[in-house]
Amino acid sequence: MADHARAAADEELPEDPGPTPVVHYAEQALLGALLLVPERLKTIGLLEPEHFANTAHSALFAAMCTTSPPAPEVHRASPVWPNQLLAAAQPRARALTAAYLHTLISICPTDAHAPAYAQIVHSAHARRVLRRHAGLLAQAARAPGPDPTAAALARADQLAVYLDELVTAFPSHPGSMPRTPPVPAPAAEASVEAEDEERMLLATATAHADDLPRLRWLHESDFTVPVHAALFTCLTALARRSSPVDPITLLWEAQQRGLLRDGLGPTEVLDLLAHPAGAPEHWGQKVLQRALLAQAGAVAARIETLTADEATSVHQLATGSRRALSALSSVRSRWHQATGDFTEKPTSRQPSVPRAPAVRTPSARAGPAARAPARPGR
């Protein structure tokens, strides 16, 4: 009975949230330094309230940016500055108390290191925004819609622009290449719809062999079914040699390449090619579009893996993300060849979807800018 009660009590316990992120302590140390010496606000570069992960910290920093600090002699004599900040921040962060402000001051090792703490806060925010961009790209790659390719490429454009800003804001250093092991490339998801489209492509391309040279933008890696990819390779090989193309010659080519095994026989190949309909370009574009969206999802997964590695610097994140994005650029170029769209300029696209926040290059400032407090965000 006692064991049963103990087990029931254990089930009610909240899950362990895990260790506190390092950036939390950096945020506390930075705010503690600014509480101790308000003049340090002039030395921390361009930092915004939304760069803080903790909502209360964001509200407190917003108050610091919009409240004029007292004269140094007044600050040393009385707690005017903490009281002003508490009154300004509490409407948006009711959990803030005078005791917590004293805790922030006690946690700060030295106010002279405020610029270093600010850089840590800025770096952690850049990592979160990059992960958000990757999530939006993954969502666009999966979401159905009238033009999913345009939505995914728009997200990729936003990601590319943000990566350029990161490289500028966070300079390189020795060992800038990411050390995070790459995740295995996800296996192509073969669905009934994808298999049908690939079968229709093979049947129509065999029936209209003269159209095969116009499908140079399609690669065997775009197929989700390996057998279909191998048969497409046979078709393109016949076309390159200017050999006759029909179901029988394709069947012979497949046999010469050792494909007629493991359950794939002549009857299965001939049945696959028996009912052509439409144009090869139409089905080829369907196959390529699916490959492009799959590649966009793979890029997003790679970037999410990079951002999950806390040992990776922001510049390493930008470098690794750019390399991942280059794989999508290759498929994208072939997509434009297939659709005849050569006018798109990735950096000038104006997507209809909302854009994730961008990082700003840190620079020295004369003091906190007078602006309305931004809504605290994580």
Give the pLDDT score at 2. 46
For the four alpha carbons of 331, 337, 338 and 340, in that order, the dihedral sign comes to positive
Q: Quick one: DSSP state of residue 257?
A: T
SS3 115: helix
pLDDT at 261: 81
pTM over 0.85: no
Structure tokens at 88: 């300004």
Q: Rounded distance, CA 347 to CA 161, Å?
A: 7
**Could you tell me the maximum CA-CA distance found in the chain, to the nearest angstrom?**
96
So what's the pLDDT on residue 173? 65
Between 135 and 371, the more confident residue is 135
More confident residue, 286 or 171: 286
Instruction: Give, in order, the Cα–Cα distances in Å from 235 to each of 129, 213, 224, 279, 335.
Output: 45, 11, 17, 16, 21
- DSSP track, 291-304: HHHHHHHHHHHHHH
Residues of the chain with pLDDT > 90: what percent? 69
Task: Say if residue 7's pLDDT is above 50.
Answer: no
Residue 215 near residue 185 (C-beta atoms within 8 A): no
Q: What is the pLDDT of residue 264?
A: 85
φ, ψ of residue 190 to 5 degrees: the values are: -90, 115
pLDDT at 214: 92
With 70 as the cut, is the pLDDT of residue 225 above it?
Answer: yes
* Residue ranges of domains in the chain, CATH in brackets: 20-121 (1.10.860.10), 192-288 (1.10.860.10)
Q: What's 68's DSSP letter?
A: P
pLDDT confidence of residue 136: 96
Phi and psi (nearest 5°) for 23? -60, -25
- pLDDT at residue 20 in the model: 87
Residue 355's CB is within 10 A of a number of other CB atoms, namely 15
The pLDDT mean for the chain works out to 85
pLDDT at 65 over 50: yes
Q: What is the total residue count of the chain?
A: 378
Model pLDDT for residues 149-174, shown as the tens digit of each residue: 999 999 999 999 999 999 888 877 65
Q: What is the pLDDT of residue 349?
A: 42
- Pure H helices in the chain: 2-12, 22-36, 55-66, 72-77, 80-89, 98-107, 114-142, 148-169, 192-207, 226-240, 247-256, 266-272, 280-308, 314-339
Residues 6+ away with beta carbon under 8 Å from 256: none
